[in-house]
Chain A
Amino acid sequence: MSTEPDSAEGIDWRSETSNVEMSRRDRLNELYEQKIRVPALVAWSDGRTRVGILILSVYLFMALVDVLGLWRDASTNQAEVALLQPFENMQYPLGTTRSGVDLLALIIDSTPFILLMVLAGGVWATALAVAVGTVSGYKGGTVDAVITAISDFFMAIPGLPLVIVLAIALSPENPIMLGVVLTINYWAGLGRSIRSQVLSIREASYVEASRTMGTSTPRIIVKDVLPNLMPYVMVNFVLAARYTIFASVGLYFIGVLPHSGQNWGVTLNNAYNQGGLFSTQALHWLLVPIVAIVGLAFGLILLSQGMDRIFNPRVRTRLTGESESIAEEEDATTTEMI
């Protein structure tokens, strides 16, 4: 991180001798190289990330199919045969429900909704937790005491029951709002654990050096503390996203959240209540949404397991070939979080 201003100056200095536009392109190239191509290569080299990305792109593809309207929308009695088994008729690859709805259409229809909700929940929970955790952990003293007291209060409220009460008061049907409501107090616990990480980072020698040099607190937090937290934050973003999926589907399943259309949880609920458990005839109706849920969660977790490598500076620099600066850190073992 400390080398960035130097290299920027270098480009400025060179730009006097060459075309200004060329240098901008150079800089963009460098940015692309450092921030996109190399991390992508590192990520791809890990088997877990590769499978994770492949799984997630299937979901993105399904969302795209729905947005572009490439597959028919789900509606009742669109198939003549109710409870068609999967792969029996290629017109309806995943079979149909008791009321003759194409199951594949059902799953595709709700993909954009679920993805938006998961993204909103994950971003809200982690962003707030990072802000709260870093400030509280780094500042210490009164600020820390106040923030800790507030998050202790939110931690003391059990998530799902709170969401149930809020769902009745607010009836969130918008996916983004639903994602935020579901993780309404998730940030508190996460902020607490980020705080304890920051507590140990702030004692590190390079942070102390920045402080002695009179660097401002926001700058230290952004430049010195945050980069060290990135792997942890990424992993927890995925865990928050997983929690959002599990909570939403669970609450749809027991019929607490309001819904206007169908989605994986509602489909699961319908299948369960209309005999999906009693006969093998209807079993696929129950299994298809289950596979959709588990697949998304599995893809996310695999991605986070491999993600550790992109954000781990040691592994990253080794790939670019700048090895001299990392020699002294060689003995540390890779940490695997979750």
Chain B
Amino acid sequence: MNYYLKRTLQIPATIFAVATLTFGLIRLLPGGPFTQLRLELLRQGIPAEQVDARIEALQNIRPDAPLWQQYIDYMIGVVQLDFGQSISLNEPVIDVLARALPWTVFLVVTSTVLMFVIGVAIGALQAYWEGSRFDRITSGGSIFLMAVPYYIFAVIFLFVLGYNWLFPTGNAVARGVDASLSLAYVSSVLHHAALPILAFTLGGIGSTALNMRGNGIQVLGAEYVEVARLRGLSNGRIATRYVAKNAILPMYTGLLLLIGFRLGGTVVLEEIFSYPGLGYYMIKAVHANDYPLMMGCFLVITMTLVVGVYIADLTYGLIDPRISAGGSDEY
């Protein structure tokens, strides 16, 4: 089968599987979320039949129907982007998610691109000047950066820059600024996103740089680079066509994984900066026992990841023709 077709069909299949997983988590675990909710409602003195009706309204499933019926109802709901009603915010879950998703994507994409570009640049210079003072200092710095989790940077930035009124400590835009492409709006968005992005980027630069350094040193020692020199190619051509391309390629596969980890990481980041993305609402839902909203956030973060990895994968196919060859012999 065609690689691109196969890859595209994988998306609905994965989302289907993950939706099944969330359904299983909601329903099947002993003492699961809804048992707790039911107990809570009963304790508040609400009659049993009303409790059932309320749970039905909150989640798009009927608690008394057989399991397969519940499953089909849930899946139809997911396909129609109906995730039920949020208990704590008292509005449809999908509305909350639609509001939050763009902020999370903005954070992750901006900081991942920044991290990749800066990390690769530093790593390339380290490899080129291997053993120099610059290399030793930045390598040490990279190892140290790897040892500091991004949320520690977040906390420190909040302390040093946030509470001194230089940067806002919550929200994605200032109050009263209308969403438009005006200068006031864009600068307000950037102002609010600066600290989260800075913290998230800094946390990833170390490992990217070390990775690039290792690959760069290996490529610089390769025979084809020597051959290119002997052929008298210009330095610029050797640096970009030979060294950079071959050193970055293996890291690009790692980037797919990285997107996954970083998308999960926004949960902590957004909570610290009170940045109203998916992770922020997920934690809010956890603390409020708002299971429909929590599962909705989980499902949408997963969908975002699946689509993000898909896009990265397709571009990878453009750079490296080997990827589409696929199929390996069996031993």
Is A313's beta carbon under 8 Å from chain B?
no
Q: How far is the CA of A202 from the CA of B211 in the complex (A)?
A: 24
Task: Please state if A297 and B32 are interface contacts (CB–CB under 8 Å).
Answer: no
Task: Please state if A338 and B211 are interface contacts (CB–CB under 8 Å).
Answer: yes
Known pairs A189-B257, A253-B151, A272-B155; A140 contacts B146 (CB<8 A): no
Q: How many of A's residues come within 8 Å of B, CB to CB?
A: 60
Select the residue from B152, B257, B272 with max chain A CB neighbours within 10 A: B152
Known pairs A193-B253, A298-B147; A139 contacts B330 (CB<8 A): yes
Task: Please state if A333 and B217 are interface contacts (CB–CB under 8 Å).
Answer: yes
Q: Which residues of A contact B229 (CB under 8 A)?
A: none
B: contact size bracket: 35 or more
Known pairs A139-B330, A165-B295; A277 contacts B155 (CB<8 A): yes
Q: Which residues of B contact A277 (CB under 8 A)?
A: 155, 158-159, 163
Q: Which of B280-331 contact A (CB under 8 A)?
A: 282-283, 286-287, 294-295, 297-298, 301-302, 305-306, 309, 328-331
Is A100's beta carbon under 8 Å from chain B?
no
Q: Which of B103-162 contact A (CB under 8 A)?
A: 143-144, 146-149, 151-152, 155, 158-159
Closest to B149 in A: A246
B139 CB → nearest A CB, Å = 9
Known pairs A153-B17, A160-B267, A169-B32; A293 contacts B260 (CB<8 A): no
Q: How far is the CA of A301 from the CA of B145 in the complex (A)?
A: 11
Interface set of A (CB-CB < 8 Å, partner B): 138-144, 152-153, 155-162, 164-166, 168-170, 189, 192-193, 196, 199, 202, 211, 217, 242-243, 245-246, 249-251, 253-256, 272, 277-278, 286, 290, 293-295, 297-298, 301-302, 305, 333, 335-338
- A-B contacts, 17 of them at CB < 8 A, read A139-B331, A140-B329, A141-B328, A155-B257, A156-B305, A161-B298, A161-B301, A168-B286, A242-B146, A250-B265, A254-B268, A254-B283, A256-B283, A290-B152, A295-B147, A298-B144, A336-B210
Interface set of B (CB-CB < 8 Å, partner A): 10, 14, 17-18, 21-22, 25, 29, 32-33, 143-144, 146-149, 151-152, 155, 158-159, 163, 207, 210-211, 213-214, 217-218, 221, 253-254, 257, 260-261, 263-265, 267-268, 271-272, 279, 282-283, 286-287, 294-295, 297-298, 301-302, 305-306, 309, 328-331
The 3 A-B pairs with the shortest beta carbon distances in the complex, nearest first, are A141-B330, A160-B264, A158-B264
